[in-house]
């Protein structure tokens, strides 16, 4: 951020999941963009879907800030690096303000991010069916962590203008902070229930009308000038010397193929940027569009997404599957995460009992379920033979999928993952490929990047 630019930041937090913070976040982003401001979006936690919304509204990649996956200095570096040319940074929280990795502390919560970055907080409260009680809720949030800078309240889901005035008066009298805006209970202006299948429609611009309507509503019912006053921090956060994005000791001459389309598109921006920092030329291709593996590449990255939504089309692209299969069998250093891992198996079975052949590299198949099979943050310990994460090395990431892998034969596992339900073996190693359900954040162990690219260089020779 330039010296002359005023630094503004705001955390949009909720009292709990479903309070409406995503709707409010998108409305504020759209209204600020309409004012001609450059808005940088962030999302607390590992979620990929809300950042897709943010990018659609702001025109800039949104970044994940997770104080459990990443060190405090790394969070600050990612935040400062992305915010430096923005007029305002809007950070959308995750779950409730104090919900994170540990019920007994702020670890991994939106509250911890707000403290780490010294950002003011706009607390979104679902005020449906309450009046003065809303003040008690806000008071409780103020008292649980006095260091948190809850600067203002947004009254969501009020029944009428009169209901809003009652809630506003109660909160401002009892809590000493302003209530700066509201939205009524109007389902037409709420963000559709978020699921993976929505992402392509977001990227095609089909929700542009919703974003415009949200901006209209914010301009009508929010004191935007007051909000910008509250969002103005006295000083930008102190940022340590770049470590994550410091100049590497060496660069690698590698062309890395990256699958990116509606079926495969869940990548942390920093993962791709670190590969480029260390010298990789990223070559994007679309398996879904029938584009075979690009020629003259020394590595392959197939990220997450939802190949199950496009299983029939992917299965029909035999030229693509042949090109990837033969390259992997020749030892092309490959990382396949979640959706990419599913693509490498023998088949994807849907919830109607239909089965679609995939690459057939990983023996077994994945079957879709109607309920979540796994969700949560993961600490990953490398295994012997894992060129990305050898035994003794650890990294952090997350797992989120509705499918279950049914192996036909045993392969060496890629990791041991540790989450709320204990330790388990995950993924597999074959040829020169690491495949598994866990989405790794390379910033939790940048050595992954150097080891991968070194392996790619050796393969190229």
pLDDT in tens, 310-324: 999 999 999 999 999
Residue 298 lies in a domain: yes
Are 314 and 187 within one domain? Answer: no
What total of structural domains would you count in the chain?
2
pLDDT of 424: 84
Indicate the burial class of 388 (C-beta count within 10 angstroms; 0-12, 13-18, 19 or more): buried
Residue 409 lies in a domain: yes
pLDDT of 306: 86
Are 58 and 169 within one domain? Answer: yes
Pairing mode, strands 280-285 and 415-419: unpaired
Are 362 and 448 within one domain? Answer: yes
Instruction: Indicate if the pLDDT at residue 392 is higher than 50.
Output: yes
Instruction: Indicate if the pLDDT at residue 1 is higher than 70.
Output: no
Are 259 and 149 within one domain? Answer: no
Share of the chain above pLDDT 70, in %: 93
Instruction: Indicate if the pLDDT at residue 261 is higher than 80.
Output: yes
Are 18 and 167 within one domain? Answer: yes
Are 393 and 435 within one domain? Answer: yes
pLDDT tens per residue across span 154-165: 999 999 999 999
Give the whole-angstrom CA distance, residue 100 versus residue 108: 5
Nearest to 263 by CA among 320, 327, 326: 320
- CATH classification of the domain holding 160: 3.40.50.300
Share of the chain above pLDDT 90, in %: 76
Please write down the long-range contacts of 61-66, taking CB distance under 8 Å and 24 or more positions apart.
61/269, 63/269, 63/270, 64/268, 64/441, 65/91, 65/113, 65/117, 66/108, 66/377, 66/441
pLDDT of 3: 43
Are 211 and 270 within one domain? Answer: no
> What's the Rg (C-alpha) of the chain?
23
**Least confident residue range of 118-122, 134-138, 424-428:** 424-428
Are 167 and 283 within one domain? Answer: no
Domain closes at, from 199, 231, 263:
231
More confident residue, 137 or 409: 137
pLDDT tens per residue across span 393-434: 999 998 888 788 888 888 899 998 887 677 888 889 999 999
C-alpha distances (whole Å) from 408 to each of 116, 365, 389, 427, 445 are 47, 8, 25, 14, 32
- CATH classification of the domain holding 319: 3.40.50.880
Largest CA distance in the chain: 73
Instruction: Indicate if the pLDDT at residue 187 is higher than 70.
Output: no
Are 25 and 71 within one domain? Answer: yes
**Least confident residue range of 75-79, 104-108, 206-210, 304-308:** 206-210
Residue 2 lies in a domain: no
Helices (H) and strands (E) in the chain, counts: 14, 24
Are 193 and 261 within one domain? Answer: no
Residue 1 lies in a domain: no
Of the residues 127, 175, 338, 428, only one is catalytic, namely 338
Note down the domain range covering 106.
8-231
Instruction: Indicate if the pLDDT at residue 111 is higher than 60.
Output: yes
Q: What is the mean pLDDT of the chain?
A: 91
* Residues ≥6 apart with Cβ < 8 Å to 61: 51, 55, 82, 269
Provide the pLDDT confidence category of residue 4 given band limits of 50, 70 and 90.
very low
Nearest to 26 by CA among 216, 200, 214: 214
For 221-249, what is the mean pLDDT? 84
pLDDT tens per residue across span 33-59: 999 999 999 999 988 889 989 999 999
What would the two tokens of residue 339 be? Answer: 């959706």
Are 422 and 387 within one domain? Answer: yes
44 catalytically annotated: no
Nearest to 374 by CA among 404, 417, 416, 343: 404
**Least confident residue range of 206-220, 415-429, 447-461:** 415-429
What would the two tokens of residue 379 be? Answer: 């600490």
Residue 436 lies in a domain: yes
pLDDT of 240: 63
Residue 89 lies in a domain: yes
Domain closes at, from 196, 231, 266:
231
pLDDT tens per residue across span 322-336: 999 999 999 999 999
Are 196 and 161 within one domain? Answer: yes
Give the whole-angstrom CA distance, residue 33 versus residue 29: 6
For 122-151, what is the mean pLDDT? 97
pLDDT tens per residue across span 287-299: 999 999 999 999 9
Residue 245 lies in a domain: no
pLDDT of 351: 87
Provide the pLDDT confidence category of residue 375 given band limits of 50, 70 and 90.
confident
Residue 171 lies in a domain: yes
Nearest to 77 by CA among 94, 63, 58: 63
pLDDT of 411: 87
More confident residue, 71 or 400: 71
């Amino acid at each position: 951020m330039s010296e002359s630019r005023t630094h503004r930041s705001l955390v949009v937090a909720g009292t709990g999941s479903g309070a409406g913070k995503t709707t409010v976040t998108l409305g504020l982003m759209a209204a600020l963009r309409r004012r001609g401001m450059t808005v940088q979006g962030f999302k607390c936690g590992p979620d990929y879907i809300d950042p897709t919304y943010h990018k659609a509204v702001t025109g800039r990649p949104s970044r994940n800030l997770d104080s459990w996956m990443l060190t405090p200095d790394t969070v600050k570096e990612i935040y400062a690096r992305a915010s430096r040319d923005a007029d305002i940074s809007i950070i959308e929280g995750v779950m409730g303000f104090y919900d994170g990795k540990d019920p007994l502390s702020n670890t991994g919560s939106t509250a911890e991010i707000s403290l780490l970055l010294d950002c003011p907080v706009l607390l979104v409260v679902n005020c449906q069916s309450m009046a003065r009680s809303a003040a008690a809720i806000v008071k409780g949030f103020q008292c649980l962590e006095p260091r948190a800078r809850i600067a203002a309240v947004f009254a969501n889901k009020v029944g009428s203008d009169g209901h809003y005035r009652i809630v506003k008066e109660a909160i401002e009298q009892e809590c000493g902070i302003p209530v700066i805006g509201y939205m009524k209970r109007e389902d037409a202006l709420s963000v559709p229930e978020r699921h993976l299948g929505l992402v392509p429609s977001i990227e095609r611009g089909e929700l542009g009308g919703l974003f415009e309507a949200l901006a209209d509503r914010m301009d009508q019912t929010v004191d935007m000038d007051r909000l910008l006053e509250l969002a103005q921090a006295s000083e930008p956060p102190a940022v340590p010397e770049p470590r994550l994005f410091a100049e590497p000791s060496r660069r690698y001459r590698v062309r890395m193929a990256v699958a990116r389309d509606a079926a495969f598109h869940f990548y942390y921006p920093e993962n791709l940027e670190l590969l480029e920092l260390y010298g990789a030329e990223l070559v994007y291709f679309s398996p879904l569009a029938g584009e075979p593996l690009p020629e003259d590449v020394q590595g392959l990255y197939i990220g997450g997404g939802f190949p199950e939504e496009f299983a029939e089309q992917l299965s029909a692209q035999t030229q693509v599957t042949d090109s990837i299969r033969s390259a992997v069998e020749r030892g092309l250093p490959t990382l396949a995460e979640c959706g990419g891992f599913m693509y490498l198996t023998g088949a994807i079975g849907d919830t109607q009992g239909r089965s679609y052949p995939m690459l057939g590299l990983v023996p077994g198949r994945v079957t879709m379920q109607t309920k979540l099979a796994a969700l949560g943050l993961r600490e990953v310990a490398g295994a012997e033979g894992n060129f990305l994460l050898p035994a003794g090395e650890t990294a952090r990431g997350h797992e989120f999928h509705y499918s279950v892998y049914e192996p036909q034969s045993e392969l060496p596992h890629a990791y041991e993952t540790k989450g709320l339900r204990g330790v388990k073996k995950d993924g597999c190693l074959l040829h020169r490929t690491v495949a598994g359900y866990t989405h790794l954040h390379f910033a939790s162990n940048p050595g992954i990047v150097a080891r991968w690219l070194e392996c790619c260089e050796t393969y190229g020779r």
